[in-house]
Structure 1
Amino acid sequence: MEGTEYRTKESVLRRAQEVIGIPLKDVDTTGRLATGKGAIGTVIEESWFGYSPNSESEPDFPEAGVELKVTPYLRGRNGIRAKERLVCNIINYMEEYDKTFHTSAFWHKCENILLMSYEHLLDRPKGDFKIDAAILFSFPEEDLVIIEHDWETIMEKVHNGRAHELSEGDTMYLAACTKGATAASVRPQPFSAIPAKQRAYSLKASYMTRILNAYIFGDAQSERIIKDPAELQEGTFEDYLRRKLSPYFGMTQTELKTRFAVESSAKNLNEVLLSKMLGIQGKIAYTEEFQKAGIVPKTIRVRKNGTIKENMSFPTFDFIELSQEEEWEESDLYNYLAPTKFLFIIFQENDEGELVFERVKLWNIPNRDLEEVRRVWERTVQAIREGVVLEQTSRGVANNLPKQSESAVAHVRPHGRDGNDRLPLPDGRMMTKQCFWLNNTYIAEQIKEK
């Protein structure tokens, strides 16, 4: 890439901060706002900084060593959250595999980021959007050790000839997201003849949410599980969790309650106990690491016979919004399930009927099973578009949405027991709220030690 007139970090930041508060329609000199996705970042590149967009390996401002990233956020009832993952650079499997993290294409391009943010307003045209902050961002030490582990996890799959099995959920903060105009966008990999989906390094939306809140909106950091980054020099975050929790494996729930002087029998009792075991004052889901990685804690109670009672639910969906989803990889379900890690807190029922803390497992859905969820999603979307068949039976109102008996992985059914809690279908009829579920039999298989 040719050099720009911005040769220092200070000059880059100074110019970036001058655009704050100006409507983008007054910034755009090329008509880029009328184009598709990514147009706002392109407007800033072309019309404000005066250089052509590129996908080269060099940072956008090579002399300054700074990469420009423009990122949107949403403001809702629960505060500020990133609208999407922050996509970095394409992963060249054929070149990247023999590098170290600090010689990698990701680090070369994104060691220093000019992060510019804007609020995505659902009811306003893009031209009304305004950049509201610009900062120079470098990864803090405590994040960098996890990001380096993430990069190594991605490269390990490439080394093992399994680049075609990469998934966003494999990692904590830095992910390998799909990148291409179609699902047929593939690239060669060095240790297998199987073409792999084209992917890019990206920072997860959960990570960007915390970065926006901490560095742009000035929120205080949450409680940390890892007090000293050096604790991750000898292993991964999951290794650390196991090391801290292993002294408690084999203890009954009652013994743990006594050990930590917990009197509660609330529904989230096991998560309370887990926080105590890790030395956390608040909820584990609210810790810095869990928020940045988007880790969802789930208690799994295994019966004496090895089965699990509960299916695993996801958020209720809006029938009309779901019917309007066109692409699987743009769907709400994909963007929740693909990058998410679940911490399974596994309790096994013993012969006396007591729950014994057996182990924990960080889990993300494998690609092959994500494809089966895709099939269930497609059938659901199709059924809603064509008009859900509702039939009164002796047991209530039956429908033709995908059932648990029709898939080994996932199904659709109501969330909650109140049949009066309903939402409109596209044709105006009302239907009990529904959500996607992972089958209890599927989860039972996934938690088996392999």
Structure 2
Amino acid sequence: MHSSPASLAELQARSQALAGLTLGQIAAQLQLQVPANLQKDKGWVGQLLEQSLGASAGSKAEPDFPHLGVELKTLPIDRDGKPLESTYVCVAPLTNVGGLHWHDSWVCRKLQHVLWIPILAERQIPLSERMVGTAFLWQPNVQQQQELQQDWEELMEQITLGGVANIRGAQGKHLQLRPKAANSRALTDAVGAHGEPIKTLPRGFYLKATFTASLLAQQFAPG
């Protein structure tokens, strides 16, 4: 485990030093075993990079680099630089959600300042040979912030009104709500259509791949 970076500049320098390395090479530096695949180790890539860069939040409800206010997000991409999947942000609250405001929400706080680390991660590439791309720091501009807020408010309103079961992944311009559970038995409390307590799968907020593709285009546009 490396020490926490003291500044944004140090974090950037560390993350840029990873560009071109494979996950296997980074794991070897940290004397870590590479799992055969990610089926049982879904969060392994993120945890590897957190260790390598000195993230200190662990599973606490704060950004990965709390003293810098920066969240780390890995972004699996294909050879054309297109995101391969949506990006998990955080668990969605399903009870006691009346009176929650965007600026106090965990989604908003996590997305205020993000270190994105693209990873060439096409399925046919063995995990240890997947390569880290050029990391970049991102903060939402005014339009992005407004659009994310609108998505969040619409989804949270549905949850508040007992409509969690009707929310589909297609909803939301940039932010979507999807089931997030290891298996179908992992149920959590929520509110039903008539205000009654129900059990449902936990839900998570995800950034759609179209949104992260636009961030990559914005960052790496020729010009």
Q: TM-score range by the shorter chain?
A: 0.7 to 0.9
* Structure 1 residues 317-356: aligned runs within 5 Å: none
* Structure 1 residues 344-423: aligned runs within 5 Å: none
Structure of greater relative contact order (alpha carbons < 8 Å, 6+ residues apart): 2
Cα distance in structure 2, aligned partners of 1:7 and 1:61: 10
The structural deviation recorded for 1:219 is: 5.3
The structural deviation recorded for 1:52 is: 7.0
The amino acid of 2:111's aligned partner reads C
- Tell me the TM-score normalised to structure 1 length: 0.44
Q: How has the CA–CA distance of structure 1 residues 89 and 96 changed in structure 2, closer, same or farther, with 3 Å as cutoff?
A: farther
Cα distance in structure 2, aligned partners of 1:95 and 1:5: 35
Structure 2 residue matching 1:111: 3-state secondary structure: coil
Residue in 2 that maps onto 1:197: 201
The structural deviation recorded for 1:182 is: 1.3
Residue in 2 that maps onto 1:383: none
Residue in 2 that maps onto 1:64: 68
The structural deviation recorded for 1:96 is: 4.5
Residue in 2 that maps onto 1:30: 32
Larger Rg: 1
CA contact (8 A) 1:176 1:200 kept: yes
The structural deviation recorded for 1:97 is: 4.1
Cα distance in structure 2, aligned partners of 1:80 and 1:49: 23
Corresponding residue pairs, total: 212
- Tell me the TM-score normalised to structure 2 length: 0.85
Residue in 2 that maps onto 1:179: 180
Deviations, residues 298-322 of structure 1 (Å, cap 9, x unaligned): xxxxxxxxxxxxxxxxxxxxxxxxx
The structural deviation recorded for 1:66 is: 0.5
Residue in 1 that maps onto 2:121: 120
Higher helix share: 1
Instruction: Tell me if 1:18 matches 2:17.
Output: yes
Residue in 1 that maps onto 2:158: 157
Residue in 1 that maps onto 2:135: 134
Structure 1 residue matching 2:99: 3-state secondary structure: coil
Gaps of 5+ in 2: none
The structural deviation recorded for 1:39 is: 2.3
Higher strand share: 1
The structural deviation recorded for 1:184 is: 3.1
Residue in 2 that maps onto 1:206: 210
The amino acid of 1:22's aligned partner reads L
CA contact (8 A) 1:162 1:192 kept: no
Gaps of 5+ in 1: 221-450
CA contact (8 A) 1:176 1:201 kept: yes
Q: How has the CA–CA distance of structure 1 residues 158 and 169 changed in structure 2, closer, same or farther, with 3 Å as cutoff?
A: same
Cα distance in structure 2, aligned partners of 1:111 and 1:97: 23
The amino acid of 1:41's aligned partner reads G
Cα distance in structure 2, aligned partners of 1:139 and 1:110: 7
The structural deviation recorded for 1:35 is: 5.0
Q: How has the CA–CA distance of structure 1 residues 93 and 121 changed in structure 2, closer, same or farther, with 3 Å as cutoff?
A: closer
The amino acid of 1:21's aligned partner reads G
Residue in 2 that maps onto 1:168: 169
The amino acid of 2:19's aligned partner reads I
Residue in 1 that maps onto 2:7: 8
The structural deviation recorded for 1:187 is: 1.8
Cα distance in structure 1, aligned partners of 2:91 and 2:20: 32
Residue in 1 that maps onto 2:50: 45
CA contact (8 A) 1:153 1:170 kept: no
* Structure 1 residues 274-293: aligned runs within 5 Å: none
CA contact (8 A) 2:113 2:138 kept: yes
Cα distance in structure 2, aligned partners of 1:91 and 1:164: 13
Deviations, residues 262-299 of structure 1 (Å, cap 9, x unaligned): xxxxxxxxxxxxxxxxxxxxxxxxxxxxxxxxxxxxxx
Q: How has the CA–CA distance of structure 1 residues 96 and 31 changed in structure 2, closer, same or farther, with 3 Å as cutoff?
A: farther
Residue in 2 that maps onto 1:286: none
CA-based RMSD of the aligned residues comes to: 2.2
Residue in 2 that maps onto 1:242: none
The amino acid of 1:105's aligned partner reads W
Q: How has the CA–CA distance of structure 1 residues 18 and 80 changed in structure 2, closer, same or farther, with 3 Å as cutoff?
A: closer
The structural deviation recorded for 1:7 is: 4.2
Residue in 1 that maps onto 2:84: 83
The structural deviation recorded for 1:132 is: 1.3
Q: How has the CA–CA distance of structure 1 residues 53 and 144 changed in structure 2, closer, same or farther, with 3 Å as cutoff?
A: closer
Structure 2 residue matching 1:195: 3-state secondary structure: strand
* Structure 1 residues 211-222: aligned runs within 5 Å: 211-215=215-219, 217-218=220-221
Residue in 1 that maps onto 2:144: 143
Structure 2 residue matching 1:80: 3-state secondary structure: coil
CA contact (8 A) 1:59 1:110 kept: no
The structural deviation recorded for 1:155 is: 0.8
CA contact (8 A) 1:178 1:197 kept: yes
